[in-house]
Structure 1
Amino acid sequence: MKYVEFCCVVSNPTEDILDILVAELAELGYDSFNTEGSTLKAYIPEVAFDGNSSAAIVNKYLSADGVTISWEPMPDKNWNEVWESNFEPIIIEDKCTIRAPFHTNLPKTTYEIVIEPKMSFGTGHHATTYQMVEFVLANEFKGLRVLDMGCGTGILAILAAMRGASDVLAIDNDDWAFQNAEENVQRNASGKVRVALGDANLLGAETFDVILANINRNILLADMSRYVDVLKNDGLLFLSGILIVDIPIISECAIGLGLTLLEQKDRSGWVALSFKK
């Protein structure tokens, strides 16, 4: 697949501006990011690239004299292979190891998740996935029915099953992520996890004790009422994929739907929230 590299150099960037740009560009279809100092490089399949839309995102937050943007097509190569070569194992709270099949001789932890690192979101390296894993590790899942919205690689669904969930439905609207999640579920022998291709429109009469949604602000706001509809009374809703600046609007929406805020996590400017119905 051919990719385009979008480069943004910011003079005197604030602490969170590059994270904000990453979140906004991700909604345009960018799937890989590299931040070094004041430079952000973002990568998107050539067929999905729109220079004007990308520039508009930057101009929304930064004045023209404070930023330089450029883009260029990347050499045609196996980007998944390149991504795999840079994939490092991660250990969370000394309890959960997330590794690729080619990682060996790692410290033993209570839970070990093996994923084939394709380019779907959710390897545990990003702050949002890391925080959601922390939530899963800290809460009771035994015998519970779980929904994982925007499942990406399937890490959260797989871990919920390992933690004793009786049934897990994992949903993603990206075909690449859907296939990757199915592969990872099989790789980890997670027979209690079902993977589906789609979005919140798939939700019907089935109800859940716990809902995990690591997506982005706009989708969370649009689909929150559906989550509440299928969440059992006293059920828990864990949300991430949002920045600190998003907390007020996300909390207002959740509380307006009858949810109570229980906990807030903050890591590298990214936030994870837990609510109870």
Structure 2
Amino acid sequence: MEEEFKWLLQEEVHAVLKQLQDILKEASQRFTLPTSSSGGAVKQENFVLSTSGTDQVKGVLTLQGDALCQADVNLKMPRNNQLLHFAFREDKQWKLQQIQDARNHVNQAIYLLMNRDVNYQFKTGSEVLKLMDAVMLQLSRARNRLTTPATLTLPEIASSGLTKMFTPALPPDILVNFYINLNKLCLTVYQLHVLQPSTTKNFKPAGGSILHNPGAMFEFGNQRYEVSHVHKVECVVPWLNDALVFFTVSLQLCQQLKDKISVFSSYWNYRPY
């Protein structure tokens, strides 16, 4: 009876591993996107930026896999209603590190699942649990890269290569930052004003944050600035939502298998770590 149970559990483990492989391959394909009909490079997708608030910022972003290959942005300056237009230079594109990292973690999870012979027999429940833990770690990291944007200081944003991407060049009182938040590609525009020496007695530089609020201060290039206005606009990227769903389903499958192994561990010579 025990041998029969072991065999049945082996079958279930391999079935779950195959199901996980299929789901994660689908997730990985979302990050590369289908190629164009000509069979060339990854296709480009255009997304219109929008916000639930004012229309101070409008624009269109062009995404090609993990690269933002064009950003065409209009900014209405609140002080004088002057309209600024800036776009990526034709020779520039901005790599979205969050998408790159998430894809790499998914591919590492796939490697862990496939790194054995199809007829491999797991010897203990502990061996399966360790595999599930390793896969879940990669999936959690992939999900976290999309759900948790990096915290940056304002000087880090100011010194980013992103500031040199645009034509015409960004004015010195404008900072921009792009990032992924869940299934959305976000653009934040910061308008600054220079702090005069007479007004810097209460100067307190802001720390790292995903989004800085008006009033945040920082020093850059021997000059002190304060954020006067913040505009955040975003666009939904459907295939990022697909990927997040695949991560959730895969993590649930891993946990269900772990729970089953733990419940029936006495049948399978389970030994704790």
The TM-score normalised by the length of structure 1 is 0.26
Higher strand share: 1
Larger RCO, structures 1/2 (Cα 8 Å, 6+ apart): 2
Larger Rg: 2
Higher helix share: 2
